[in-house]
Amino acid sequence: MELHVYRNKIVEWVVAASPEDAAKVLLHHHDGSADPEELDLKFAQEPDDKLLRIVEYDGPGGDNQTLSCKEWASINGRGFLCSTEF
């Protein structure tokens, strides 16, 4: 199963095998903590060569890394990747 990065309009990124699988990943990530009707479960695949910078704001200075979507999919594996909201 080849994995890719998918994005919805709420600006959440997940690594999945298809748009349908991406919706399942997001539902699993929220694990009942969000109303499924409030989630955007329509995902589009990002180009494998698109660069995506992820910035972590958990501490002073924050850490960031820029990789291609293909690299993020390979490193992260199937699951939630990031969001602009949290």
pLDDT of residue 35: 72
How many other C-beta atoms are found inside a 10 Å radius of the C-beta of residue 16?
24
Point out the residues of the chain with pLDDT beneath 70. Answer: 32, 36, 58-62, 86
C-alpha 34: how far from its chain's center? 17
What are the two backbone dihedrals, phi and then psi, of residue 66, each rounded to the nearest 5 degrees? -115, 125
Please state, in angstroms and as integers, the Cα–Cα distance from residue 57 to each residue in 44, 45, 48, 83, following that order.
26, 26, 25, 12
What's the whole-model pTM score? 0.87
pLDDT of residue 46: 98
pLDDT of residue 83: 92
Our CA angle for 16, 17, 22, nearest 5°, is 45
pLDDT of residue 61: 62
| Contact of 51 with 68, CB cutoff 8 Å | yes
